Structure 1
Amino acid sequence: RPHSRPYMAYLQIKNETYSTRCGGFLIRPNAVLSAAHCVHGKGNVTITVTLGAHNIKKKELSQQHFRVGRWVIHPRYLNYRSGNDIMLLKLKKKAKMTKYVKPISLPSHNETITPGTECSVSGWGQTSVTGHRTDVMLEVDLKVQHKKMCEDSFKGYWCQSMICAGDISGRKSTYKGDSGGPLVCNRKAHGIVSYGYEKSPFPKVFTRVSYYEPWI
């Protein structure tokens, strides 16, 4: 349903030669969480955050636009496969809280989520491997998987700081452009879209937000 995820943030990341999009989510009126790999290694970038959006190509009255004053990548981040794929962005101005723009709650430190729990992921990422992009925010439901599922698939998977989730049928998944968006379980942002194999929709790895709660 349009505007049913008022915490969602759309990130436009640009430098002189490059432009990309990522997701993120509002945790305070002036703070957004996203994935470190969205900006790491891309040089001198400018980041614009749009809140309250459904169709990112339309000038919706609900939208609020912000320049990012500064952002902090986790100090131990090297690349997305080594973990710590988390970034905190501070908006230059505080967002105005409306029915279209509201922060989401975070889990407490080391709060766990049980395998089998149904969670949701929203974003404006590609909807197919052929590169089709969506202008409207879409959502999929994904189940938290047992850690062994990701340990068998990904060498660097570490369950303390990562969550393994996906749709075992392979019909639903996150993809390019969804990075940085939240894995929402029981109305809390438990995960951040991080990585997976490009040609395999299942499983996917999410940064475990509860592990990083003291850093946040």
Structure 2
Amino acid sequence: MLLLLLLTNAFVLLPWAGAGRIIGGQEVKPHSRPYMAHLEIKSGSQTSYCGGFLIRPDAVLSAAHCVDIEGTVRVTVILGAHDITCPEWSQQKIRVGQWVIHPEYSPDDFKNDIVLLKLKPRARINQNVQFISIPRRNEHVEPGTLCTVSGWGLTSPKGNTSNVLREVKLKVQKEKICQQRSSNYQRQSMICVGNKNSKKASYQGDSGGPLVCNKKAHGIVSYARIHHRFPEIFTRISKFEPWIREQLRRFELQDTPFSPSSD
């Protein structure tokens, strides 16, 4: 997996290259994106970072490749953060004990790049921590729609950093643009997004963050070519809505105390 992601001709946003990276965006008003989650992922002596987003008090969505790492992996979700370097009073740090990667996820071509993380204890919903809606299976975002992507960290490929949450506006593109650039593109499960002049983009470490269109999380930051930031490919959430709902039901069953039969 690590070798694949280091190939210079591959499409990928490296989750271990630093915290979330937004190019050409701007700092958001503190805590104005209360659904955002910052993932700290530890494997051995290595620590990597990804984005994610709260869809229910006990569930965060992110990209599968963020946690698909060899060895023992420990994930901590930080909610309610603006400056990730400060112990803000608004922050909730929750150790993730369980996550479910889509069974058809492919690390070779990033197909079905989605993971659902279970939070226990549940997040405390308040002004700074809230969940965001996801689309139904038949909902689609049209080409030309202006959406937003949020993340923490680098603001340029050269490594200028920002520890506060930043956001960039990106436009949904026609499918053929991504089909021409990547043979791995699947229109039903992916969304083609980007700024044509490449001055605006998500970047290394933004993986797992949401593509927010019309106040819903329609996509998950998945992959792009390292040296060419247009177009970017996002996981299409509506395709996986039935699978997400099924996993959420399983989460509920796991939390239901066992009650013996009356027989």
Q: TM-score range by the shorter chain?
A: over 0.9
1:201 aligns with 2:258: no
Identify which of 107, 119, 138 aligns with 1:79: 107
Tell me the secondary structure at the aligned position of residue 202 of structure 2.
Answer: coil
Shift of 1:128: 1.9
Find runs of 4+ consecutive structure 1 residues off by over 6 angstroms: none
CA contact (8 A) 2:110 2:222 kept: no
Question: Which stretch shows the higher mean deviation, 14-23 or 76-85?
Answer: 76-85
Which moves more between the two structures, 182-191 or 12-21?
12-21
Judge conservation of contact 1:76–1:84 (CA < 8 Å) in 2: yes
Partner Cα separation in structure 2 for residue 8 and residue 156 of structure 1: 28
Q: In the alignment, is residue 41 of structure 1 matched against residue 69 of structure 2?
A: yes
Shift of residue 125 of structure 1?
A: 4.3
1:149 is paired with a residue whose SS is helix
Matches within 5 A, 1:1-150: 1-79=29-107, 81-150=109-178
Name the CA distance, whole Å, in 2 between partners of 1:93 and 1:149.
43
1:126 Cα shift? 2.6
**Structure 1 vs Structure 2: percent identity of aligned residues?**
57
Q: Indicate the structure (1 or 2) with the bigger Cα radius of gyration.
A: 2
1:73 deviates by 0.5
Gaps of 5+ in 2: 1-28, 245-263
Tell which has more relative contact order, 1 or 2 (C-alpha 8 A, sep 6+): 2
Q: CA–CA distance in 2 between the matches of 1:73 and 1:52?
A: 24
Give the RMSD, CA atoms, in angstroms.
Answer: 1.1
Q: How many residues align?
A: 216
Equivalent residues of 2:58, 2:120 under 8 A apart: yes
Name the CA distance, whole Å, in 2 between partners of 1:80 and 1:9. 26
Instruction: Report if aligned partners of 1:11, 1:23 keep a CA contact under 8 Å in 2.
Output: yes
- Alpha-carbon deviations, 1:78-115, whole Å to 9, x = none? 21624100000001201111111000000001311100
Runs (5+) with no aligned partner, structure 1: none
Q: Whole-Å Cα distance in 2 between the matches of residues 38 and 14 of structure 1? A: 11
Distance 1:21 1:212 in 2: 24
